[in-house]
């Protein structure tokens, strides 16, 4: 957003100045979502890989990394080029970690099944966060979205 737009629409900063962006309710929601996602990832990982400890660690690590990458996209209002670069670097480092930490984590021989299970666990873990975010935006859109809908600057 430019300085000209911020001078024209000072209500964009009223949300931040009155503390409605990060309050106890928002913080509690984030804490609950993190707890829920961690529990879902661990329980489903134990169900999928109850016998192999190496696969248990691999899928849990993969789910946590993928979950955090998805949560970043879920929480931002506008995707920036630097954000995409940072996400790409994170994915690259994640893939490198399988080589560097080959004693602790490894992709199983059935990598397609592994990938499918990681995606399934993440969909189940992130679905409530997505639903909560969509509901919140629909019921109470932020000021900048209201202005964007009215004006094209």
Digit-coded pLDDT (tens) for 2-51: 566 656 666 655 655 555 556 787 788 888 888 999 999 999 888 877 77
Residue 79's pLDDT is what? 85
User: CB neighbours (10 Å) of residue 122?
Assistant: 22
Question: Is the separation of the CB atoms in 121 and 67 below 8 Å?
Answer: no
Residue 108 token pair: 């199983």
Is the pLDDT confidence value at 62 over 80?
A: yes
Residue 10 token pair: 């000072």
Q: 43-47 long-range contacts, Cβ below 8 Å, gap at least 24?
A: 44/120, 44/121, 44/124, 44/125, 45/121
Residue 69 token pair: 């990458």
Is the pLDDT confidence value at 93 over 90?
A: yes
Is the pLDDT confidence value at 71 over 70?
A: yes
Query: Which one has a higher pLDDT value, 140 or 128?
Result: 128
Mean pLDDT (whole number) for 70-77: 83
Is the pLDDT confidence value at 98 over 70?
A: yes
User: CB neighbours (10 Å) of residue 58?
Assistant: 22
């Amino acid at each position: 957003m430019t300085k000209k737009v911020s001078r024209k629409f000072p209500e964009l900063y009223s949300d931040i100045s009155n503390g409605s962006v990060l309050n106890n309710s928002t913080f509690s929601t984030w804490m609950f979502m993190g707890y829920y996602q961690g529990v879902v990832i661990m329980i489903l990982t134990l169900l999928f890989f109850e016998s192999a400890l190496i696969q248990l660690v691999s899928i849990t690590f993969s789910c946590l990394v993928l979950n955090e990458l998805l949560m970043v996209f879920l929480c931002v209002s506008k995707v920036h080029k630097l954000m995409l670069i940072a996400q790409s670097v994170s994915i690259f480092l994640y893939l490198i970690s399988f080589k560097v930490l080959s004693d602790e984590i490894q992709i199983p021989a059935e990598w397609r099944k592994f990938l499918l299970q990681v995606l399934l666990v993440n969909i189940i873990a992130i679905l409530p966060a997505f639903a909560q975010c969509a509901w919140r935006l629909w019921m109470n859109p932020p000021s900048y979205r209201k202005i964007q809908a009215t004006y094209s600057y």
